[in-house]
Amino acid sequence: MTPGNAHARATQPPELTPDDHVIVLLGATGDLARRKLLPGLFRLAKAGLLPERFRVVATSRQRMSAEEFRGFAYQAVTRFTGVIPDERFWSDFAALFSYVDANEAGALAPAVREAERAVGTQPRRLHYLSVPPAAVPGIVQTLGEDGLTDRARVIMEKPYGSDLESARALNETVHEVLDEDQIYRIDHFLGRETVQNILALRFANPVFQLTWNRQFVDHVQIDVPETLSIGSRAEFYEATGAFRDMIVTHLLQVLGFIAMEPPESLAADALADASSRVFDALAPLRREDVVRGQYRGYLDEPGVAADSCTETFVALRAFVENERWAGVPFYLRTGKRLAEERRIVSIGMKAAAQNAITSEAGFPPRELVFDLGEPGSISTRFLVKAPGPTMRLAPAPFIFRYDDSFQISNQLEAYERLIHDALIGDRTLFTRSDGIERLWEVAAPVLADPPPMDPYDPGSWGPDAIDELIAPRRWHLPEHRPT
């Protein structure tokens, strides 16, 4: 039984308790495992959301014993959760981990079967591929050859190819071993509570559902600036860049949530179908609608080629060519070494007809803003009568914050939510092969003929050309407050 969580499990609906599992964590000593996956498994255990009986088989190319790996996991959990685990709980929890040196050919399958015997019955398998993209096809083929794909689900990390041709080749290779419903392509953006709240706000509240179209919406912005540099990820970033790393994989997926038609249900296939219809309606991206940038100092980063043309910034304008969104521009922006670390979706509404009241007072920015940070918020601004003897209007905030409205101490982070979804077989927030291939198809013109590279200063909002891209509108970030 999972250590120390009998009470926590008793408070959860039965359908949230996964079947018995062996969790195989490939790339278990990598940065993602250290920052997200090991702390996430620990928090899921504390919340009573792991199986009643499970084992974790960790594997990587770093040579260490099982006990040394448990020490590694302890350091990861304490650092990235900020919690010192209870000694008894940790002892019981860590005892469920074993470790396999990936340099030893053929060692993984016996370790998995030994873990299965410890769990008993015929547990499900969840393989988390926290490995470089180039390693994925070989690993999946090995899992198939070793008989480890029965009763199995496989979580794959981005990027899913680097263009349309490679994405199709990857899907064909993986589909030789796995059925599509076994593949869980993870996008941690879609696991965020506020991204999911876009659907709740739209489809559960008629006032928003009725205005979510080109008649009322002027434009949409999806803005994910980062303050960090590439750090120690030069090898990955040089081969990928901001466009492949963020636009195709993350931001266009969020666009699919924002722009979808009402799905038949909130079931996984219905949502995937609705997103795919948005992707089908996306116009191919045009060179003149894209701004690429590289922060000054990037060429001095360790591992970066002296003549690198890799972009660390990209902003673009996209269009969804269907009845709901025809003519409405979607502006996407992301990059490294920018002024703030934010995750913002803002819906810019059209101006109402002027009248004697609003023209005299002026109106605050007509934006509905989703802060996708954790815990997240939804906000807008509107005019109210200011206290006093005259009819004087003043702007006021209208805001929902998770931490003001709900008990969030047990709120799952995005990776935790998605790991749990994979354990219970819920594919709602995972991406599908047809959608991935379509987005690479939409991106193909820019990949084939990218626009020129504009330098920008670290700590800025990117190249100056982004203001021309969005004109006569303005970027929500930096936030424009009425004077």
Would you place residue 191 in the very low, low, confident or very high pLDDT band (cuts 50, 70, 90)? confident
Would you place residue 481 in the very low, low, confident or very high pLDDT band (cuts 50, 70, 90)? very low
Q: What is d(CA 47, CA 137) in angstroms, rounded to the nearest whole number?
A: 34
Q: pLDDT value at position 27?
A: 96
Residues in the chain: 483
Instruction: Using the 3D structure, point to which of 102, 135, 157 is the last residue of a domain.
Output: 157
419, part of any domain: no
170, part of any domain: no
Is the whole-model pTM more than 0.85?
Answer: yes
Q: pLDDT value at position 175?
A: 96
Claim to verify: residue 201 and residue 144 sit in the same structural domain? no
Claim to verify: residue 317 and residue 400 sit in the same structural domain? yes
Of 122, 67, 117, the closest CA to residue 97 belongs to 67
Claim to verify: residue 239 and residue 127 sit in the same structural domain? no
483, part of any domain: no
For the cut 60, the answer to whether the pLDDT of residue 243 exceeds it is: yes
Would you place residue 19 in the very low, low, confident or very high pLDDT band (cuts 50, 70, 90)? very high
Mean pLDDT in residue range 324-342: 97
Claim to verify: residue 327 and residue 379 sit in the same structural domain? yes
Which of 52-56, 175-179, 383-387, 430-434 shows the lowest per-residue confidence on average (mean pLDDT)? Answer: 383-387
136, part of any domain: yes
Claim to verify: residue 106 and residue 214 sit in the same structural domain? no
Claim to verify: residue 108 and residue 153 sit in the same structural domain? yes
Instruction: Using the 3D structure, point to which of 157, 184, 213 is the last residue of a domain.
Output: 157
179, part of any domain: no
For the cut 80, the answer to whether the pLDDT of residue 9 exceeds it is: no
Range of the domain at 392: 193-408+439-470
Which positions are annotated as active-site residues? 250
42, part of any domain: yes
Claim to verify: residue 77 and residue 208 sit in the same structural domain? no
Would you place residue 365 in the very low, low, confident or very high pLDDT band (cuts 50, 70, 90)? low
Q: pLDDT value at position 384?
A: 79
Would you place residue 393 in the very low, low, confident or very high pLDDT band (cuts 50, 70, 90)? confident
Number of domains in the chain: 2
For the cut 80, the answer to whether the pLDDT of residue 63 exceeds it is: yes
Claim to verify: residue 203 and residue 327 sit in the same structural domain? yes
pLDDT in tens, 422-449: 999 998 888 889 999 999 999 999 999 9
Q: pLDDT value at position 24?
A: 98
Claim to verify: residue 232 and residue 367 sit in the same structural domain? yes
Domain CATH number, residue 94: 3.40.50.720
- DSSP for 146-160, please give it: TT--TTEEEEEPSP-
Would you place residue 3 in the very low, low, confident or very high pLDDT band (cuts 50, 70, 90)? low
What sign results for the dihedral spanned by CA atoms 461, 464, 469, 474?
positive
Burial of 444 (0-12, 13-18, 19+ CB in 10 A): middle
Q: pLDDT value at position 50?
A: 95
For helices 433-448 and 252-259, angle between their N-to-C axes, nearest 10 degrees: 120
Higher pLDDT, 186 or 297: 297
- DSSP for 81-126, please give it: H-----HHHHHHHHTTEEEEETTSTT-HHHHHHHHHHHH-S--EEE
Domain CATH number, residue 448: 3.30.360.10
Claim to verify: residue 133 and residue 12 sit in the same structural domain? yes
Claim to verify: residue 148 and residue 199 sit in the same structural domain? no
For 53, residues 6+ apart whose C-beta sits below 8 A from its C-beta are 1, 2, 20, 119, 120, 123
Claim to verify: residue 391 and residue 338 sit in the same structural domain? yes
184, part of any domain: no
168, part of any domain: no
Higher pLDDT, 46 or 15: 46
